[in-house]
Structure 1
């Protein structure tokens, strides 16, 4: 059955976006999702059992951001900075010093920083708006520090799969989408 399932499958019925799976005969797959100028991707291995295709990829990194440096200074603020190669991304990063509690998120400035009232910091929560499922709480090992600089992990836009499955139907696959809500998506075979 697996050999007959290999092929290209593209999501249908969604406006202004494209998404699909390439299932190779060797059991590997590639995934893509495009919405406007944003591209997401993933890859891994697929298998078939009981008319379901199951997708698994390598293990997702523990954090989606790297703490590059932290320091203590005499400022009256706790400052979180992002070091990114494309400044246009900065306004899409949000930060919380309260483990992501609703109402605690602040948006990065165009300069790539956020200032909170000075406080002891146990962790920094970061969220990139284009990858809302990739929310990280990063522990801080020096609670007395009040300036922290982060960068994205290179895998920030990658989609990771862990026992994600789709139903094999005549002419394609159906079920959920790895990034969108709902379970009524169709992926006809091309």
Structure 2
């Protein structure tokens, strides 16, 4: 009986300590020290989080679950679905080069799409879409097409193709285009602050100060 009571007290103490630790770290943290960039995390008591990033006209966001491991906080979200573009139509035009067409209700996004076929060779670059969202590749034969969006540089969307059957491909953006997907991002937990690499900036020593 005595051992049972001791075990219960121990488990209760650990549970209470962990709950207190979670409660103390919850709140809003904002990035400091970087001009013209607004970014931060909102840590909720149910171990969920919301992330935001704003730079000029670019806004990105993310969400998921956080957990504490020692003096680190670890962020994870649902896995990236694998593509930021969806094929909505394909057709064949005799003699035409492989052509990618991007459709969107927001035409301002179109010039920021790039595409290429198969693999990029030395001294080659992805082809930039024109203002109409058209990318004409210098090939009539390709086994795969690859698309990327300038403001989401961490992801490339790839598609298998058979250019003997189709050479004109029309795509649109997926709804999650601007979402950032977290995969074990670690930040150090400091008194009223989080410290470490920003998920979207090439900067390893960022500080997010607690403001709420």
Q: Shorter-chain TM-score category?
A: over 0.9
**Max radius of gyration: which structure?**
2
How do residues 49-60 of structure 1 correspond to structure 2 at under 5 angstroms?
49-60=69-80
Q: Structure 2: any 5+ residue segments left out of the alignment?
A: 1-20
Residue in structure 2 matched with residue 94 of structure 1 by the alignment: 114
Give the distance between the partners of 1:163 and 1:101, measured in 2 at CA: 32
Residue in structure 2 matched with residue 10 of structure 1 by the alignment: 30
Residue in structure 1 matched with residue 98 of structure 2 by the alignment: 78
Give the distance between the partners of 1:146 and 1:61, measured in 2 at CA: 25
Give the distance between the partners of 1:87 and 1:39, measured in 2 at CA: 17
Residue in structure 2 matched with residue 134 of structure 1 by the alignment: 155
Larger CA deviation: 102-111 vs 21-30: 102-111
Residue in structure 2 matched with residue 161 of structure 1 by the alignment: 182
| Gap change, CA 1:126 and 1:100, over 3 Å in 2 | farther
How do residues 86-125 of structure 1 correspond to structure 2 at under 5 angstroms?
86-101=106-121, 103-125=124-146
Give the distance between the partners of 1:50 and 1:79, measured in 2 at CA: 52
**Higher helix proportion (structure 1 or 2):** 2
Please report how far the alpha carbon of residue 71 of structure 1 lies from its aligned counterpart in structure 2 after TM superposition.
Answer: 1.3
Contact 1:22/1:31 (8 A) holds in 2: yes
- Would you identify which runs of 4 or more consecutive aligned residues in structure 1 move more than 6 Å? none
Residue in structure 2 matched with residue 46 of structure 1 by the alignment: 66
Contact 2:116/2:137 (8 A) holds in 1: no
The alignment of Structure 1 onto Structure 2 pairs a total of residues equal to 189
Give the distance between the partners of 1:124 and 1:10, measured in 2 at CA: 39
Give the distance between the partners of 1:179 and 1:55, measured in 2 at CA: 14
